[in-house]
Amino acid sequence: YPYTSGHLMVLPNRAVADLEGLTADEHAELWETVRDAVVALKGSLRCDAVNVGLNLGAAAGGSQADHLHVHCVPRWLGDANFVSVVAETRVLPISLDEVGVAIRSAWPH
């Protein structure tokens, strides 16, 4: 479930557990797509910042240890997001459908 409206995950087409398992072309495509995701988030949601990160392996907190993915999470000043921590609840001020339309329209071509 998304941490916040606009939370995206970018992953390679081939199931790869670790960055070093990617080919040079897959690596380039992954990070180009992460860049495009950040551009689309900033353009569509007017967020103040974006957290970009990944957890490689179960010990790092990865939920899919056999398939790496990069989280792109839009952030706004003052979005403490404490509800996720104390109540295991997510607050999404914009519907997933609305966010999907907005991000797709702002995606670089």
Cβ contacts of residue 74 below 8 Å, gap of 6+? 4, 5, 6, 7, 41, 42, 45, 47, 49, 50
Instruction: Give the H or E element holding residue 26.
Output: helix 24-45
The set of catalytic residues is: 69
Look at residues 43, 44, 40, 10 and name the one whose alpha carbon lies nearest to residue 27. Answer: 10
CA distance 49 to 81: 14
